[in-house]
Every structure is written in C-alpha cells, then in structure tokens.
Amino acid sequence: METLVDLSRLQFAITAMYHFIFVPLTLGMTWILVIMETIYVITGKPIYKDMTKFWGKLFGINFAIGVTTGLTMEFQFGTNWAYYSHYVGDIFGVPLAIEGLMAFFLESTFIGMFFFAWDRVSKKQHLLFTVLVAIGSNLSALWILVANGWMQDPVGTVFNPITMRMELSSFFAVLFSPVAQAKFFHTTCAGYVTASVFVLGISSFYLLRKQDLPFARRSFKVSALFGLFSSIAVIIMGDQSGLYVYHAQPSKLVAIEGIWNTEQAPVSWSVLAWPDREKHENLFDIRVPYVGSLILNHNFTDPVKGANEIIAENKDKIVKGQQVLLQLEQFRKNPQDTSLVAEIQANSEYLGYGLLLKKYTEDVANATPQMIDQAAEDTVPNSWPLYYSFRLMAALGASFFILFGFASWYSFGARDAYERKTWLLKWALWWMPTPWIACWAGWFVAEYGRQPWTIFGILPTYLSTSTLSSGELIFSLTGFTLIYTLLLIVELWLMFKYARLGPSSLGTGKYQFETRGK
C-alpha cells in the first residue's frame, strides 16, 4: 500500500513537473505576443509583425507539448487518485469542468487563428485573436489554481455521511478564497517572468552574435520591461501567499522556516540552517532578528507557533477524529438510523485527523498511543527539503528582479549601452533555465509542504489513491517518463534549431542567413 502511494505521488510529481515546463512559458508568452502585436497594429511597422510571428513560432513549439502533457493532468485524478475523486469530486470537479468550458476552448480555438488567420482577417481582428489566447490561457490558470487553492485551504464544503464524501456548500467561498487568488497571481506572474527571461535570453544571444540587431533590440526591450513589472509582482504576490500559509497552514510554515518551538514576537528569521526532523531542532542556525515578524506574519506582536505545539494540538484532533470515525462506522452499518448524522457533521472538522490513523491500522478504535503519536508527528512535513527549496525559489525571484532592473535601466535609461554590456547579455543568456527551477521549487513547497494531506486537514494522501497494483504503477510511470522525455528531446531540439535560425525562419527574405548569401 505504501509503495502504491509513493509511486502514485512520484507519477503525479513527474507528470506535473513536465507539464509545468510548458505552462509558465505559455502564460507569459501570450502577453508578450499581445504587446508586440499591439505595437505592430499601432505603428504599422512590419518588424513588429515579424517579432510576433517569430516568437509565436517558438511559442507554438512549446505549446504543442504543453497541450499533450496537459491531457494527463485532466485524467490523472481519475486514473490514479480515484478515492480522492470520489471524496472531493463534488467540489474539485467544478473548477476543472469550468476551466474546460470557459478557458481551454477559448485558448485552443483561437490559437489556431493566431497561427493560420494572418491573411484572412484584418490586423485588429488578428490582434483580438491573440488577446483571446492570452485571456484563455490565463483563465485556465485561474481555475486550476482555484482548485489547488482549495486543496490548500478547503473552504465552502461540508461532509455528507450518506454519500461518504465532501460536498460543495459555497461556490463563492471556493472561487474567492484569498489563498486561491494569491496563488493565481503569484503563479501567473511567475509565468510572465519565465517568458520574459526566455525572450531576454534569446535576444541577448542575437545581440552577442550581432545577428538581426534591430529585431533583437526591440525584443530585448519588450521583455526587459515586461519582466521588470512581472518580477516585482511575483515577489509581492509571493509575500501575500506566504501570509496565507501562516494563517491556513501553520504546519507548512514551520517546516519551511525550521521553527520547532513557538517563537515570541519579534520573531527572527533563519538565513541558513540544517533542520533535523528526528531531533526537532536545527543543527546550526544563522538568524536575523526582527525579519521573521516582518515577512512571516507582517506584525511585531503575534508569536509564530512552532512544530512541537502544532503536533501537540493535532494529537488532540486525532483523538477526537477517532471518535467521529467510530460514529461514522456505526452509521455506515445501519444507515437507516440517521440520529448520528448531525453529530458526525458537527465534529467533521476532526474526521480527517482520525483518518490519519488509517495509515497505521484499519481498526481505528484500537489504535495504540504510539500510533496516535506517530500520526501526530506526521502532520508536520519534513523540514529540510522545504527549507531549501523555498530559499532557492526566493533567491531566484530576487535575482530576476535584479536582472530585469539592469536590463531595463541600460536599455531604456542609459540609451543602447546594454549592447556593449556583454556581462549583462551573457547573464541573461545563461540565466535562461533558472525560472523553471524557481517554478518547480515553488510547486514543491506548495505540494510537499501540504503533506500528509491531499486536502489539507480533510483527506490524507495515504487514502487518496486508486486501488491499483504496484506493477501497474511501474508500467505507467515508465511509460509516461519515456514518452515525455522523448517528446521533450524533440521539442528542445526544434526549439534550439529555430532559436538559432532566428527570424530568418519566417522566410521573409529580410533576415540574417537569408541576406548574407545575396
């Protein structure tokens, strides 16, 4: 059973991370294309049309695999997380279905128009198509992050003992959950940063090689400015998301920060430490005073609860949950007798904590004190992976702000000096893989930090899977990894080829490699 859970998690992680290679670039590239095409429509300069088409070509190479890997995400909850789907489908299915109806149709219908309708409609109409693609792709991010936000902070839902599942009580609570909204803006802005680094890096490559300079200069400037605003937004929204973690998921916060005992205000902040899960302490710890209060909860009066206190509180919840679970079992045996329903629902906030015991015993009534201790210990995820991936993400986030700051300053402020700043161009070029590392690190913090839950406080990960054999999981995991890797290799090969060719790949006859021979 545990192997099955681990393999299911690994498969979800791998397929989601592959998918998230393509998604952030799509989210940001669509807006960069909108900016370029808008300049084209306003100024009428053909170079901006070529820019839209060329960056659109690279965008298309990326988009194809984004669509492919996205298919898995829509169906994997059913194939591999059947109990999860059963238990929360009444709520979780809603944003996914609306995502399809409202966002995917829009994005996918007009992406075809973006590529193929250049000669069939007016300039303005074509711009409208590009805008619709951008809106569609960003709306799809909205709905999927509403779904994920709900997994982090499950609002607007009640447990129904008759159907044995969570059911929706308030759609608006789910949609306007502040956790979901902060996540949406943080994630989409991260996508804008990713796309900006992509365009800035490739433009720098042309500038370094003195290839298609007018084309490269304009692309550089557009991405520098868009990236600057996006990198500021991603930091602000990241800070907001962090604040919601403090309120909604204290167990994730203490793991990220390596806080074992409750700290009174003003709280210091750990810069470098090695959190030890077994001993509940940090082996070494370099701390800056006051900063913790500033960034963790935005005030200098409230304490920050430590892991030990959280575990003790959760132990109480598990004991209460054990009782609710027993009542539920009693009710399931005799469903005609509905006298227990009200009581079960009144205490259903503890039900999930009771379910944590199922990892250790089927017979929850006779769970030993050791099992309860162990289940309580589980409620705080392992600290060091979160501690370091969070700091990696945050440091990269800051680096993007600095990079775009320099790039914008030199290209807009100090006129055209940037072309001679080879250190800046090389930095932009070599920095190209880092936004993806930051995105992955961020998702790792979000998902690993929520453990041991799939739905925080409601459904343990251990219970969420389908009843499959390990053999089936090994088969599918191998298949997904092989196919995705193969597709990624082809994608990267084409991407490098077309990025090197530059705008000459449009076949207009105006660019490098086309004019040189003439």
Partner 1 sequence: MEYAILRVIWWVLVGVLLIGLMIMDGHDMGVGTLSPFVGKTDSERRAAINSVAPHWDGNQVWFITAGGAVFAAWPLVYAASFSMLYIAILAVLWTLFLRAPAFDYRSKIANPTWRSTWDWVLFVGSAVPPLLFGVAFGNVLLGIPFHYDDNMRLVSDASNPIMGFLALLSPFAILCGLVAFSMTAAHGGVYLTLRTEGAMQARARKAATLFSLIAIVCFAVGGFWVGHINGYVASNLSPIAQSDPLAKSVQIVQGAWLNNYHEYVWFAVAPILGFAGLILSIVFNTRGKSGVAFIFSGAGMAGIILTAGMSMFPFVLPSSTDPRSSLTAWDATSSEHTLLLMLVAAIIFTPIVLTYTSWVYKIMRGKLTTARIEENSNSMY
Q: Tokens for 368, please give them.
A: 């030993």
User: Which residues in the 146-165 window bind partner 1 by CB under 8 A?
Assistant: 160, 162-165
- Residue 292 CB, shortest distance to partner 1, in Å, is 41
Site for partner 1 in 394-413 (CB under 8 A): none
Please report whether residue 506 would count as binding partner 1 according to CB under 8 A.
Answer: yes
The answer to whether the Cα torsion of 253, 257, 263, 269 is positive or negative is: negative
Q: Which is nearer to partner 1, 22 or 444 (CB)?
A: 22
Residues 249-268 that bind partner 1 (CB under 8 A): none
Residue 110 sits in the site that holds partner 1 (CB under 8 A)? yes
Using CB under 8 A as the binding rule, the residues of this chain from 47 to 66 that contact partner 1 are 53, 60-61, 63-65
Interacting positions 273-332 with partner 1 (CB under 8 A): 332
Exposed/middle/buried for residue 115 (C-beta within 10 Å: 0-12, 13-18, 19+): middle
Residue 498 found at the interface with partner 1 (CB under 8 A): yes
**Given the rule CB under 8 A, which of 33-41, 257-265, 405-413, 472-480 is the region that contacts partner 1?**
472-480
Give the interface segment with partner 1, choosing from 108-116, 300-308, 342-350, 383-391 (CB under 8 A).
108-116
CA torsion sign for 503, 507, 508, 514 is: positive
For partner 1, give the closer residue by CB, 14 or 82.
82
Distance CA 509, CA 88 (A): 56
Interface residue with partner 1, options 363, 471, 517, 518 (CB under 8 A): 471
The distance of closest approach from Cβ of residue 344 to partner 1 in the complex, given in angstroms and rounded to an integer, is: 14
Residue 121 is a binding residue for partner 1 (CB under 8 A): yes
Q: Is 112 in the site for partner 1 (CB under 8 A)?
A: yes
36: contact with partner 1 by CB under 8 A = no
Closest CB to partner 1 among residues 101, 402: 101
CA-to-CA distance for 136 and 27, rounded, in angstroms?
Answer: 9
DSSP H or E stretch at residue 286: strand 281-288
- Part of the chain binding partner 1 (CB under 8 A), chosen from 43-51, 92-100, 288-296, 381-389: 92-100
Does 46 bind partner 1 (CB under 8 A)? Our answer is no
Find the part of the chain contacting partner 1 (CB under 8 A) among 29-37, 38-46, 68-76, 260-268.
68-76
* Nearest partner of 436 among 18, 4, 150, 5, judged by Cα: 18
- Applying CB under 8 A, which part among 113-121, 285-293, 376-384, 393-401 lies near partner 1? 113-121
Contact 395, 442 (CB under 8 A): no
Burial level of 120, CB count in 10 A (0-12/13-18/19+)?
exposed
Label residues 423-444 b or e (16+ Cβ within 10 Å = b): ebbebbbebbebbbebbbbbbb
Binding residue count for partner 1, defined by CB under 8 A: 79
From candidates 38, 494, 512, 514, binder to partner 1 by CB under 8 A: 494
Q: How far is the CB of 270 from partner 1 (least distance, A)?
A: 41
The two counts, helices (H) then strands (E), for the chain are 19, 6
Q: What is the residue-wise DSSP string for 129-145?
A: HHHHHHHHHHHHHHHHH
Query: Measured in whole angstroms, how far is the alpha carbon of residue 16 from the centre of its chain?
Result: 9
Is residue 52 within 8 Å of residue 33, measured between CB atoms? yes
171 binds partner 1 (CB under 8 A): yes
Q: Quick one: which of 120, 279, 516, 518 contacts partner 1 (CB under 8 A)? A: 120
Contacts of 235 (CB under 8 A, 6+ apart): 397, 398, 401
Reduce the DSSP state of residue 489 to 3 states and report it. helix
Neighbours of 453 (CB within 10 A): 25
Calpha distance 258→321 (Å, rounded): 28
Q: What part of residues 449-468 is at the interface with partner 1 (CB under 8 A)? A: 466-468
Among 14, 16, 41, 108, binds partner 1 (CB under 8 A): 108
202-221 residues near partner 1, rule: CB under 8 A: none
Q: Which is nearer to partner 1, 106 or 304 (CB)?
A: 106
Question: Contact with partner 1 (CB under 8 A): which of 5, 41, 74, 426?
Answer: 74
By the rule CB under 8 A, 93 interacts with partner 1: yes
Binder of partner 1 out of 17, 102, 233, 265 (CB under 8 A): 102
Tell me whether the omega of the peptide bond preceding residue 266 falls within 30 degrees of 0, making it cis.
Answer: yes
* Residue 168 interacts with partner 1 (CB under 8 A): yes or no: yes
- Counting contacts by CB under 8 A, is residue 363 touching partner 1? no
Q: Is 474 in the site for partner 1 (CB under 8 A)?
A: no
Contact 246, 304 (CB under 8 A): yes
Chosen residue from 32, 111, 142, 197 binding partner 1 by CB under 8 A: 111
Give the residue from 315, 412, 328 showing the smallest Cα distance to 367: 315
Rule CB under 8 A: choose which of 92, 388, 440, 444 binds partner 1.
Answer: 92
Q: Where are the alpha helices (DSSP H) in 158-212?
A: 171-175, 178-209
Q: Applying CB under 8 A, does 71 fall inside the site for partner 1?
A: yes
Q: Are 308 and 260 in contact (CB under 8 A)?
A: yes
Q: At what angle do helices 2-43 and 178-209 cross, to 10 degrees?
A: 60
182 binds partner 1 (CB under 8 A): no
80 binds partner 1 (CB under 8 A): yes
Binding window for partner 1 (CB under 8 A); candidates: 107-115, 208-216, 240-248, 402-410: 107-115
